[in-house]
Amino acid sequence: MIKLSTFAEVLEHANNNNKKLFEVFQDQEASLQEKCISFVRSKLAESLDVMHSSIKQGLANKELSPTGIVGDDSNKIIKRYTNKEIKTPFGELYGNIMAYAIATLEENQRMGKVVACPTAGSCGIVPAALIAYSEKFDISQEKQIDALLTAAGIGKIISFKVALAGAIAGCQAECGVASTMAAGALTELMGGDNEKILNAAALALKNVLGLTCDPVAGLVEVPCIKRNGFSAIHSATASEMALAGIKSAIPLDEVVDAMKQAGILMSPLLKECSEAGLATTKTGMHITNNLNINK
């Protein structure tokens, strides 16, 4: 297997062989698993099925999370966007992206089944963007799998430099990377070339540098659930900019370096331990103390 450890190397290899990025990622995975490409694609189809069912379950279930502080927000968005009487600035797609991301996270917090993407706390972003777009533009499952491969490959190359965990690099490494992956996936879905895909990813990642991981009471609830909604929309913005021909002034590999540095410089108190930031605000502490879920 050819060693491709940076985006520059992946891009060069893809362009030299007249391949899309997803084809390079799928070739690499097949050789890693010592299986054929169809095996890799069918495993991704399985993940895609679970992503669909997390959204469906998330919207159907109105039960609150075990702590009782979150769980019924996705339907509020659907309600607003399906009401013909209400004027909204963007179309139904915008509402669905937000709602699907939040629904997936609500299902996650209810102990429902999800696909970590790249983590459980950021598992709503890629599925929401991908599935909402695919419904709107009637995109085939095969094309959706191409986009999933693009997303996964982008996440994988980033993970060579930075571990994808809030405890290591803050939320930049979770929701930040998920929106970077989704930006690339959407650009693939909309027919963008390899350069546009990597520009979308770079634009998305640049805009989340420094994002902290400071969840209230250490739970995947506040701000994680709504942040998945924001991040999914963020990925669509980055993709649209790139498809319009806007380039990232800083190449993706260098943005990843900057993200790694920001992660190192970030105080450990803001990296998943809930000892600063939102977690220790007056209201954050009040919520924590009132949970009374442990002794």
Partner 1 sequence: MNNTSIFDIIGPIMVGPSSSHTAGAVRLGLLAQKIYRETPKEIKITLYNSFAKTGKGHGTDKGLVAGLLGLHVDDPKIKYSLEQAETQGIIVNFLYQNDTDRHPNSVDIELTGENKLFVSGNSLGAGEIEVININGFKVTLTGEYHTLVLVYKDQPGMMSLVSKYIQDYNINIASLLCDRKSKGQEAAMTICLDDQIADEALEKMKQLPDMYLVRRIEAIKR
Q: Which is nearer to partner 1, 178 or 241 (CB)?
A: 178
Piece of the chain touching partner 1 by CB under 8 A; list 145-153, 189-197, 198-206, 258-266? 145-153
Q: Is there binding between residue 148 and partner 1 (CB under 8 A)?
A: yes
Over the window 187 to 226, marking each residue x when it contacts partner 1 by CB under 8 A and - when it does not, the resulting string is ------------------------------xxxxx-----
Q: Is there binding between residue 34 and partner 1 (CB under 8 A)?
A: no
Q: Which is nearer to partner 1, 3 or 87 (CB)?
A: 3
| Cα dihedral 20, 33, 123, 67 in deg (nearest 10) | 180
Residue choice 1, 86, 244, 265 for contact with partner 1 (CB under 8 A): 1
Q: Please, what is the Cα angle at 88 between 82 and 94, to 5 degrees?
A: 75
Residue choice 10, 98, 117, 256 for contact with partner 1 (CB under 8 A): 117
Residue 64 exposed, middle or buried by CB count within 10 Å (0-12, 13-18, 19+)? middle
Task: Please enumerate in sequence order all residues whose Cβ is within 8 A of that of 223, keeping only pairs 6 or more positions apart, or say none.
Answer: 215, 216, 278
Among the residues of 61-91, which ranges form H helices?
Answer: 74-82
CB of 237 to partner 1, least distance (A): 22
Q: Is there binding between residue 284 and partner 1 (CB under 8 A)?
A: no
Nearest to 22 by CA among 220, 194, 254, 204: 194
CA–CA distance, 12 with 158 (Å, rounded to integer):
17
Residue 9 exposed, middle or buried by CB count within 10 Å (0-12, 13-18, 19+)? middle
Residues 235-274 that bind partner 1 (CB under 8 A): 273-274
CB of 106 to partner 1, least distance (A): 10
CA–CA distance, 56 with 106 (Å, rounded to integer):
11
Judged by the rule CB under 8 A, the positions of this chain that interact with partner 1 are 1, 3, 5, 25, 29, 32-33, 40, 43-44, 46-47, 50, 65-67, 107-121, 123, 126, 148-149, 151-153, 155-156, 159-160, 164-165, 167, 181, 217-221, 273-274, 291, 293-295
